[in-house]
Amino acid sequence: MKLSADQVSLIGQVFESYVLEHHRDEILAILREADDQAHYPVVVDALTLFETNMEIGEYFNAFPSEVLPVFDSALRRAALAALQDSADPAQLSLKQNLHARVSGLPVCPELTREHIPKSKDVGHFLSVTGTVIRTSSVKVLEFERSYICNKCKHVFVVKADFEQYYAFCRPAACLNEEGCNSTKFTCLSGTTSSPTCCRDYQEIKIQEQVQRLSVGSIPRCMVVVLEDDLVDSCKSGDDITVYGVVMQRWKPFHEGSRCDLELVLKANYVKVNNEQLAGVVIDEEVRKEFEDFWERHKNDPLAGRNEILASLCPQVFGLYLVKLAVAMVLAGGVQRTDAAGTRTRGESHLLLVGDPGTGKSQFLKYAVKIMPRSVLTAGIGSTSAVEAENCCGGI
């Protein structure tokens, strides 16, 4: 079942009027940008949009892969309308690469997940929270090719199939509505020059957050596909919430071999939950608390150190030497550069060795809890880290 032409028209009209009412200033700011080829996002709150028209919410939940391109088209029409209504259109330029990014889904089990989705979620738009454990390099992806029929000279476009790792599947016959039915085509894209229809492409792998799992559970992982303005929006160790469509993909079939299906999340929007702004200034209250603490222990700074260590991982009694080592690793050091220009990193490594039940995992989980960017992995995860990952293009 697909959306009818009337439903597509309704979705486009409602979304166009919505963004003009709620995001006009944001659209005008984008139109003032100098780069006409860049990709610009407009983040839309799903809850506010659905309250505007509940029917749009029903269509979006049922057919997210079809509704999202309609949103993008409506956003471009809204940008054109804002340009025409502007008092100073000479300072504005129309941008074609506008993307509607949907966020703020209602908090309910059907739409919001803290665990990796399963096969029953294929085709649904969800928000999934996890930790980035691996990122690939940004690549150039050809997503569209043009073909010309050798018989009737009809030119048609073939889009890359996401479910087959962006493979191009040539049609069996000419797509001319007049009924050519020829089976011989010539590819126009990339014949005399490089491919023209390309976009930025990146894959990341996210892992379930360990603190949200039950005792003894091993966190599961999932590949997330990022395109256009979403690439390089996060890095390893970030806690993120991904809004996107759960899809499945498979590699080309081979006779006698089983088809290997993989669940992936095609991202529409990525929100970094632990984003750290550069140059953050510590407020005076925290600074005064820090100064007062060391003022009280100026005659015996080791007592102040011991007080800090007693509050580190309080569920583990004693082991002050181990706590001191963990605290030093978490605090880090200062990078040094010698006369020859060689840089020595300030961060140190730590190896905890001990019998089972001595609290090694407790220290690791506590470090993950207090650090803004961290990845906690089990033995199975650290072993597979040295294996080649096709999706991430490296080791």
- Tens digits of residue pLDDT in 313-325: 888 887 888 888 8
Say if residue 186's pLDDT is above 70.
yes
State percent of the chain over pLDDT 70. Answer: 88
Kind and range of the H or E run holding 248: strand 239-250
Who has greater pLDDT, 193 or 81? 81
Neighbours of 334 (CB within 10 A): 8
Give per-residue pLDDT as tens, 317-347. 878 888 888 888 888 777 788 788 787 777 7
Q: Which amino acid is residue 176, in one-letter code?
A: N
Candidates 180, 186, 152, 158; CA nearest to 170 is 158
Q: Where is average pLDDT lowest: 102-116, 145-159, 188-202, 373-387?
A: 373-387
Say if residue 133's pLDDT is above 60.
yes
Give per-residue pLDDT as tens, 136-152. 888 888 888 887 887 78
Range 205-239 burial, b when 16+ CB lie within 10 A, else e: bbbbbbeeeeeeeebebbbbbbbbbbbebbeebbb
**Are the C-beta atoms of 71 and 57 separated by less than 8 Å?**
no
Q: Where is average pLDDT lowest: 17-26, 184-193, 254-263?
A: 184-193
pLDDT confidence of residue 385: 46
- What confidence category does residue 215 fall into, taking pLDDT thresholds of 50, 70 and 90? low
pLDDT confidence of residue 110: 79
Residues 6+ apart with CB under 8 A from 52: 14, 18
